[in-house]
Structure 1
Amino acid sequence: MPVPQALTDVVLYLETLEHELLLFAAFWIVIGALDELGLDLCWLSLRLLGRGRSSRISEAEAGAPLSGGAAVIIAAWQEADVIGHTVRHALSAWRQRDFTLYIGCYCNDAATIAAVMEASSDDPRARIVITQNPGPTTKADCLNRIYAALCDDEARHGRRFRCVVLHDAEDMVHPAELAVIDRALDHADFVQLPVRAELLESSPWIAAHYADEFAETHGKSMVVRDALGAAIPAAGVGCGFAREMIARIAAQRGGGRGPFAAECLTEDYELGLLVTREGGRSRFLRVRDEQGALVATRAYFPARLEDAVRQKSRWIHGIAFQGWDRLGWSSGWVDMWMALRDRRGPLTAVVLACGYALLLAEGLLQLAASGGLSGGPVMSPLLEALVVICLVSFFWRCAFRIAFTSREYGIVEGLGAIMRIPVANLISILAGWRAVSAYVRTLFGGAVRWDKTRHDAHPAALAFRSEAVL
């Protein structure tokens, strides 16, 4: 029975499409693999030289008095489910007295205000700042309102804080955090500590993929950035700024607006980079306590696909698009390299989408081949070489992902990290397209709003436990 010409044309079109997709995806995957290989070799060199390892802090040092006052600021909009636990935990975990916990709440968010008031129990170290403008505005707008209150308190009491520390409403702080930041600011203007994503039994795929990513990013990528002297982006949690540096950035913005860019979705990321541009020194520090636990901010990340996509799309929009628009490009090769890495989110989404489209096209062609309609694709030597490099780089990446996740969470989760790669890729694809759409809307006059992440109640108060050290 003759094969219809239309069906033959469809198969021919699929073969051409597969070839072009394969060439495009393989090229960019190889470029990405070379980028990652460069970072991996830098990290391995640091390890061989005895650098890049976690330092230690003793129990006595962790509880030592601060050399100056610390202002810890938290923006909270509709966080009644988590803010109470966060405030109680911070007030009980930090043994120092010389800090003030500023919590910014909105005038139209009575539930969050009530939760903060109940949790602080008239503790003089907690201070509620209520915005005049109804929420939600941007997070940076709320942070600037807190900063204004902080400045008013300094003028009222005639005493200036030594540092400003940023945290989110769902964070669980380490008891040694303030001591580590306070000590590091003797020689730096900005200090970033690691973030440790907590695992959720109810979300072994979506929430857990954050653990995989943060374990590698804050165990390798940020360590290399610090060693190379590159600008360190602030994560918005567990980061401390010298008070004078914050004041300089606020003065640069002018108009009494405060140090945070209210029109930016990733104001924390931008703030960290501005420290370097202002001539300050930035550090990323990995420190472990006497029990071997990493001095890090622990937090639960989104457990639902929709929430994870929303959060990551905000990161991509703010870092890739707004970062390009607002910060431009550095002239130094190290900072240029790191900026390219930070802003690759949209391209990554396109390449990943092409990769999965390839799988679909290959499946259809295999089905056609079983019916005698296709002889299979013919690849050039160059394309074959690119595909081989892609496969080798995939296994190389898997080995690193297993190693870093296992170091923080154990070998079972390390092996599970490989199973979660398709989940992470799906989130990246959806978040990339959502970020592009959001950015295009702003080009036509759309407002930038606080598309905040939904935070559920903490499953339980977590004790800091010992962890294996690699």
Structure 2
Amino acid sequence: MPLPGIEAVILGVDAVAREAMLFAAIGFLIGGIDDLAVDLVFLWSRLRKSLKPAPRRAPVRDGGRLAIFVPAWDESAVIGQMLRTALARYDYADYRLYVGVYPNDPATLAVAGAVAAEDARVRIVINERPGGTTKADCLNAVWRALMRDEAVEGPVRAIVLHDAEDVVHPDELGVIAAWLADHQAVQIPVLPLPDPRSPLIAGHYLDEFAEAHAKNLAVREALGAALPFAGVGCAIDRALLGQIAEARGGLPFDESSLTEDYELGLTVAAMGGRTKLARHRDADGRLVAVRGYFPSALPAAVRQKARWMTGIALAGWDRTGWAHKGSIGEHWMRMRDRRATLAIPVLAIAYLALIAWGASLAVHLAAGSLLPEPEGAVRWLLAANGALLGWRVAMRALFTGRAYGAVEALLSIPRLFVANLVALLAARRAIAIYLPTLRGQRPVWEKTAHHFPDSEESEPA
């Protein structure tokens, strides 16, 4: 029998553990059903494509001149290798790399300028403002330079977006040009490179992008919902981007946004443009995709995820709202984009429940009493969540395995906990970033340090 003085403690701890568990379990059930519905739509769309496969579209080598925008703030460590690799790899007839730099970043200017001196296909654009501003501001400076060039040389076919650390594929521009024949925008997949220095922190990006760019974007496409851009490996028809610029006072990229790439994809759809998710394999069977290293340290990953969370789930909700007369699929996908605002509190309370159950177990052991077991509907709720979690783990491992192999597929299981930790820490930082914007403060380009691969040994198939 427990001592009289400890009974109140036992009741209190049990109550906290029970209520926290119930709240988290209901939240997990809603999220699990949402994820399962996406998986079912994906399987349905794959079945339809297998019954009526679309004709394969081969890359073209001459589909009009393409302008590739590369914003670069404090990127002296990678910009030279990125530009030289792109120039050596691209199998396309007519393109130009526009590199946006800043007057107060002489290191990046010197490295990029050295490449431009070697190859006329590289054009250096120095921003009038000192850095760092926003990425959109840098892109707008490049846009103004492009318009000056077009006044002399004529208009380009489309604008392609890249970052300074990207490893490009030789067929990328050819695939993009082929789909631009009847689409206004194209997004090719993004595949993070496995980083042996950080199998967990950097590795969790492998899992997220493998699933997002093989399944989630494909589901959006199947539902007819807008496809947000990844900011790299995406191309926009020049005429449509010009229309967007006119609607925004002359500049196509919104300088007040932390995720201008995400919003630009929604804007393309709102203006009637069709976006294609182009998944194409080259002659060797490798996926035509943008590759690159992602943050390998926890603080850098948290900063990056916080920017995404602020721009998409918090400020993005204010800025983009819901699609006017949008379909159910469109509203569903936008809600999924913003579900972090609901999922993070649920996740936090779930961890609180684990701590509370641990405390409950300790108190019951000390008192010599039995730990209460879930009963009735709660037991069924936990069983359903267990099944949905098993399915979610299997699906993530499946997509990671398809992109990176069996070892990374197995690592994707413990990386679920890493992803949750990064998300929890990023949520706190995102709120700190978001609140000042409500008072009119302009966002700042809070970038992370990058590095470029020395060889192709770590590139996935």
Q: Which amino acid aligns with 1:237?
A: V
2:217 alignment counterpart: 222
2:208 alignment counterpart: 213
CA deviation profile, 1:384-422 (whole Å, cap 9, x unmatched):
222111100110011111111111111111011001111
Task: Give the CA deviation at 1:287.
Answer: 0.7
Task: Give the CA deviation at 1:357.
Answer: 1.4
Change (3 A) 1:18 1:448: same
- Contact 1:144–1:260 (CA under 8 A) maintained in structure 2: yes
1:420 alignment counterpart: 415
Change (3 A) 1:123 1:393: same
Q: Give the gaps of 5 or more residues in structure 2.
A: none
* TM-score (structure 1 length as normaliser): 0.93
Task: Give the CA deviation at 1:93.
Answer: 0.6
Task: Give the CA deviation at 1:304.
Answer: 0.3
2:277 alignment counterpart: 284
1:14 alignment counterpart: 13
Task: Give the CA deviation at 1:301.
Answer: 0.2
2:318 alignment counterpart: 325
Change (3 A) 1:463 1:189: farther
> Counterparts of 1:196 and 1:186 in 2: how far apart (Å)?
25
Q: Which amino acid aligns with 2:119?
A: D
Q: Which amino acid aligns with 1:188?
A: H
2:371 alignment counterpart: 376
1:349 to 312, 332, 344: 344
- Contact 2:2–2:367 (CA under 8 A) maintained in structure 1: no
When the two chains are superposed, the root-mean-square deviation of aligned CA atoms in Å is 2.0
- Contact 1:291–1:466 (CA under 8 A) maintained in structure 2: no
> Counterparts of 1:44 and 1:249 in 2: how far apart (Å)?
35
> Counterparts of 1:443 and 1:196 in 2: how far apart (Å)?
34
CA deviation profile, 1:105-125 (whole Å, cap 9, x unmatched):
011000011111223443111
1:72 alignment counterpart: 68
- Contact 1:291–1:465 (CA under 8 A) maintained in structure 2: no
Q: Equivalent pairs: percent with the same residue?
A: 45
Q: Which amino acid aligns with 1:313?
A: A
> Counterparts of 2:372 and 2:53 in 1: how far apart (Å)?
48
Change (3 A) 1:373 1:80: farther
Secondary structure at the aligned position of 2:202 is classed as helix
Change (3 A) 1:465 1:263: closer
Q: Which amino acid aligns with 2:366?
A: G
Secondary structure at the aligned position of 2:80 is classed as helix
* Larger CA deviation: 140-149 vs 382-391: 382-391
Q: Which amino acid aligns with 2:379?
A: E
> Counterparts of 1:449 and 1:83 in 2: how far apart (Å)?
21
For residues 334-413 of structure 1, the aligned pairs below 5 Å read 334-372=329-367, 375-413=370-408
Change (3 A) 1:2 1:212: closer
Task: Give the CA deviation at 1:54.
Answer: 10
Task: Give the CA deviation at 1:376.
Answer: 2.5
> Counterparts of 1:314 and 1:22 in 2: how far apart (Å)?
30
Paired residue total? 458
> Counterparts of 1:466 and 1:442 in 2: how far apart (Å)?
39
Secondary structure at the aligned position of 2:118 is classed as coil
CA deviation profile, 1:162-210 (whole Å, cap 9, x unmatched):
0000011100011001001101011111111100010011101000110
> Counterparts of 1:87 and 1:466 in 2: how far apart (Å)?
21
> Counterparts of 1:31 and 1:355 in 2: how far apart (Å)?
14
- Contact 1:209–1:417 (CA under 8 A) maintained in structure 2: yes
Q: Which amino acid aligns with 1:38?
A: A
1:462 to 445, 456, 461: 456
Matched, 1:153 2:149: yes
Task: Give the CA deviation at 1:43.
Answer: 1.2
Task: Give the CA deviation at 1:4.
Answer: 6.9
Task: Give the CA deviation at 1:463.
Answer: 6.5
1:263 to 251, 256, 260: 256
2:427 alignment counterpart: 432
CA deviation profile, 1:23-66 (whole Å, cap 9, x unmatched):
11111111111111111111111222335989866xxx54x432
> Counterparts of 1:13 and 1:454 in 2: how far apart (Å)?
48
> Counterparts of 1:122 and 1:404 in 2: how far apart (Å)?
41
> Counterparts of 2:175 and 2:458 in 1: how far apart (Å)?
16
For residues 150-189 of structure 1, the aligned pairs below 5 Å read 150-157=146-153, 159-189=154-184
> Counterparts of 2:276 and 2:96 in 1: how far apart (Å)?
23
Matched, 1:133 2:129: yes
2:306 alignment counterpart: 313
2:48 alignment counterpart: 49
2:26 alignment counterpart: 27
> Counterparts of 2:163 and 2:368 in 1: how far apart (Å)?
57
Matched, 1:199 2:198: no
> Counterparts of 1:462 and 1:118 in 2: how far apart (Å)?
24
Task: Give the CA deviation at 1:96.
Answer: 2.1
